[in-house]
Structure 1
Amino acid sequence: MTQHSSALGRNDLAVLLLILLVATVLRTAGLNAPLWYDEIWTVDTHVSLPWGDMMREYSMNHHYFFSMKAKLVSQIFGDQPWAYRFPAVLFGVGIVAAIWWLARDTAGTKAAHISALLVALSYHQVWFSQNARGYTELAFWSALGLIFFLRGTRRPTISIWVAFGLTATAAVFTHLTGAFFFVALGLVWLVSLATGFGRPALSRDWVLQPLIGVAIACVLILFVYLPLFPSLIGTMGEVATTSAVDPMQEYQNPIWTVLEGLRTAVGNTGPLTMVVAIGGLIALAFGAMGAHSTQPLFFPAIAMHIIVTLVILLSLDMRIWPRFFFVDIGPVIILAVVGCSHGANTVARAIRHPRIGGPLFATSVVAMVAVSVFLVQRNYSAPKQNLAGAFTLVEETRSPSDRVYAINPGGPIFGNHFDADWTTLGDPESYAKAMAQSGPLTLVVLFPGRMFRTIPQLKQDTEGQLDFVHAFPGTLGDGDVLVYRRN
């Protein structure tokens, strides 16, 4: 694969539009499914606030730039799950176009079509495109930032670096962790500046123009976060404290992050998991080699973001959620496509049958598309987390004397969002007091994996005192909602 001219043919445009149509259909199907825990918190504690109050308090749960769009859409179309998620859909489709653009710059039009199609079909991309949170927006701005960065380091112009500064601002305003990606790009630029790796002949523009883009980003980021700055400092100081007492200590382990990412990507597919993992690593290795000839800074940029993110999260004792690496999915898919092409050609040369390279590459592409189609269907097997279904079941079946308890690690989400008269239990002491009272009761358990570990007695009681009523499955990790009753 080689870079093509900047001209875009009508056939290429038609292919791109068809891929974007597929992406739109996949991201709008089932869009009005019940909101899950984090989405509800976003709506209740941020989006539902008056415009003037949305920027008064910092929270790691808020995606500020995204929430403004979600609020605007919900005010126009009403309080509906799809309305809160609609901006995520737009940016989710936008990512497909941005990855097409990035892949075309990196490896040509053929790679762009294949990469965009795989992103359109990606399970994670569809899942987050139907999530009332700012991850697809963050990935969109990051992809644009990478495009401008790679173009600016090859042929620097002031307009490219101004655009880079604006995309960096948009990404960081969406969520503070957006800074990780642009810090990584800055480090790659410094390495290139110091070593000469991946850059043309050194010039004043090559040095000064990126600094102008960075200056624009810094000024604008400080401006948009200025109202939140005191609250931001206090929140960041509390992150390590809450992580230290988290019963799910594995969430701070990078190995768990890798395994969880693989589990959510492939699911319980037995031997296919290992095949996909090994095949993916081989493709990425070939991709790093294949991309080097056209965009030598492409792979270092991806690798640097992963390193920077891990270093920052580990140094702050924060949980290493796989979603912190969501912005890397699109570029990694490009690497895999380039790797399949480069690997097929390498094999063809090694066995001295150059004509076999094309069929080998085509076979690998068909395999990747087939696996993606198989996996993306899981998005529609259940809601992310069916809190609304659990609420309806309990309210329709409870007796007047029933006490209802929601067992979850956060606040009274059912009371705030569903106007339920339920009590929230989140620790062993409050659970013991509730169980000590006589009479019928109903327990609604959110995040059962976490809560069974937080309240060991709860797990024991589900095997004796409590009768199992219903399980509401969810595609979210540990997203099942379990209902138990004691008569």
Structure 2
Amino acid sequence: MTQPSPTLGRNDLAILLLILLIAAVLRTAGLNAPLWYDEIWTVDTHVRLPWGDMMREYSMNHHYFFSMKAKLMSQIFGDQAWAYRFPAVLFGVGTVAAIWWLARDVAGSGIAHVSALLVALSYHQVWFSQNARGYTELAFWSTLGLIFFLRGMRTPTLRLWIAFACTAAAAVFTHLTGAFFFVALGLVWLISLVTGFGRGPLTRTWVLQPLIAVALASVLVLLAYLPILSSIAGTMGEISASSAVDPMQEYQNPLWTVLEGVRTAVGSTGALTLIVAIGGLVVIALGAVGAHSTQPLFFLCIVAHIAVTLAVLLALDMRVWPRFFFVDIAPVIVLAVIGCWYGAGVVARVIGQSGLERPLFAIGVVAMLALSVFLVQRNYVAPKQDLAGAFELVEQTRGPSDRIYAINPGGPIFKSHFNADWTTIADPQGYARAMAQPGPVIIVILFPSRMFRAIPELAQDAEGSLEFVHEFAGTLGDGEILIYWRQ
């Protein structure tokens, strides 16, 4: 690792541009695949509204700042899936550039190149970059905020802290959970203030400028959310109440979140998954040690965000979705690259072969790149969730006397987005009434793991009286769509 040079060399710029080109190609391939449930809900209940109605009430499903860009793109290019997703592509590529900048600040250009390439190839980064939601925008603003924060902690200037305030406001306006990241940075600032850890000389400027940034960010956020402030508190209460009766109670367990994150990152590969997970933790730990000499606050910022997010979600009895930690993926990748470099140095010194440091690091980088290339291909094997395919198949094969039931939450989506004349089944009682009537029936099931648990009789009939017709695969967790038929 090297201290970053203030100037950007031509070779560094050329490498960065090549990495950004790779990132752009990966994020635009298959961009027009069918929209999935959350995307459709966003488009139908928010993006398609008139501009003046987009801020009429608060919903956790809406990513307000992002949706404004998605609406603009759809007005320019039409009602196309790729148009709604294109802002996510731009912010996804932008996050690659931002992580290169961050890694360069922390560990120099060599680490920055490898880190940016791994983020460009990251399965999760590509998946969310092709999602008409604001997660890549949230990651982009958070990464920029982290850059400004770390620089401001070392050599504070008013310009840096104003930039930090603007990124904080943009992140929180994208989604309220963006506040978790900047609250975590505030805690790191307090720890540094009290202990002296990782900061420059304690001066009046060092204390006042961050406080000015907090005040500015707070004003900007309040102005942005002013039209819907009254509905935010009520929405938080509704989310907590719905979580309490969710049949998928494991979604509120942090351990499930960790296991799901590992599963989606590596896949269900048995012992290999465990080996990769343990190896990843070791490399990240080495990265924390390796980054300490150049930027001791970097690792602390990541840990603080994870801790703050978990504390808030658990305190509000909310579901601990892995996507709440999406902004941490790219910085953790930087830690992994630093850990690979630091670990290579440790091994070389232990065996007394200092010349092996670079070859060992190269082997580690090749292994990480190979794994990333292997995993990123999963983004293209299926849509996230093929509602359009399910609708088309049912409509093409239905008979004149067939009754079609969509199991909630699929029913409202098929009715509102596809203009389907299907009936929604929302609970076990509704299912029992529907199946008590004679005649042919077609049943369409979204999120089958959830719905089989919510309606046990449906799960029993799927193993017995119902005839399986087709499964539409999806890269989304529990994203398969199942179609059954009864004569």
TM-score category (smaller protein)? over 0.9
The Cα of 1:4 is off from its aligned counterpart by: 2.5
Distance 2:240 2:64 in 1: 22
1:23-47 CA distance string (max 9 Å, x none)? 0000000000000000000000000
Aligned to 1:182: 182
Number of aligned residue pairs: give it.
487
Aligned to 2:462: 462
Aligned to 1:324: 324
1:248-275 CA distance string (max 9 Å, x none)? 0000000000000000001122332112
Distance 1:70 1:136 in 2: 13
- Percent of aligned pairs sharing the same letter: 76
SS of the aligned residue for 2:247 comes to coil
Greater mean deviation of Cα atoms: 422-431 or 16-25: 422-431
Answer yes or no: is 1:92 the counterpart of 2:92: yes
Aligned to 1:442: 442
Distance 1:3 1:103 in 2: 11
Aligned runs of 1:376-415 on 2, under 5 Å?
376-409=376-409, 412-415=412-415
Aligned to 2:244: 244
Distance 1:270 1:372 in 2: 18
Letter in 1 for 2:406: A
SS of the aligned residue for 2:404 comes to strand
Distance 2:380 2:472 in 1: 14
SS of the aligned residue for 1:412 comes to helix
Aligned to 2:67: 67
TM-score (norm 2): 0.99
Aligned to 2:136: 136
Letter in 2 for 1:363: I
Q: Would the aligned equivalents of 2:280 and 2:336 in 1 still touch at CA under 8 Å?
A: yes
Distance 1:421 1:410 in 2: 13
Q: Would the aligned equivalents of 1:410 and 1:426 in 2 still touch at CA under 8 Å?
A: no
Letter in 1 for 2:208: L
The Cα of 1:347 is off from its aligned counterpart by: 1.2
Aligned to 1:483: 483
Q: Would the aligned equivalents of 1:444 and 1:481 in 2 still touch at CA under 8 Å?
A: yes
SS of the aligned residue for 2:30 comes to coil
Answer yes or no: is 1:255 the counterpart of 2:255: yes
Distance 1:88 1:254 in 2: 27
Distance 1:41 1:419 in 2: 14
Aligned to 1:224: 224
Aligned to 1:53: 53
Distance 2:272 2:263 in 1: 11
Aligned runs of 1:83-482 on 2, under 5 Å?
83-409=83-409, 412-482=412-482
Letter in 2 for 1:480: E
Distance 1:216 1:272 in 2: 48
Q: Would the aligned equivalents of 1:408 and 1:447 in 2 still touch at CA under 8 Å?
A: no
The Cα of 1:408 is off from its aligned counterpart by: 2.5
Which segments of 5 or more consecutive residues in structure 1 lack a partner in the other structure? none
Letter in 2 for 1:446: L
SS of the aligned residue for 2:383 comes to coil
Distance 1:56 1:32, change over 3 A: same
Distance 1:431 1:4 in 2: 63
Aligned to 1:12: 12
Distance 1:283 1:174 in 2: 32
Which segments of 5 or more consecutive residues in structure 2 lack a partner in the other structure? none
SS of the aligned residue for 1:327 comes to helix
CA RMSD of superposed structures (Å): 0.7
Distance 1:82 1:239 in 2: 30
Distance 1:439 1:340 in 2: 63
Distance 2:84 2:426 in 1: 28
Distance 1:298 1:445 in 2: 44
SS of the aligned residue for 1:4 comes to coil
Letter in 1 for 2:149: F
The Cα of 1:480 is off from its aligned counterpart by: 0.2
The Cα of 1:464 is off from its aligned counterpart by: 1.5
Letter in 2 for 1:474: G
Distance 1:276 1:327 in 2: 21
Answer yes or no: is 1:41 the counterpart of 2:41: yes
Greater mean deviation of Cα atoms: 423-432 or 242-251: 423-432
Q: Would the aligned equivalents of 2:47 and 2:71 in 1 still touch at CA under 8 Å?
A: yes
The Cα of 1:352 is off from its aligned counterpart by: 1.4
Distance 2:67 2:411 in 1: 21
Distance 1:218 1:352 in 2: 54
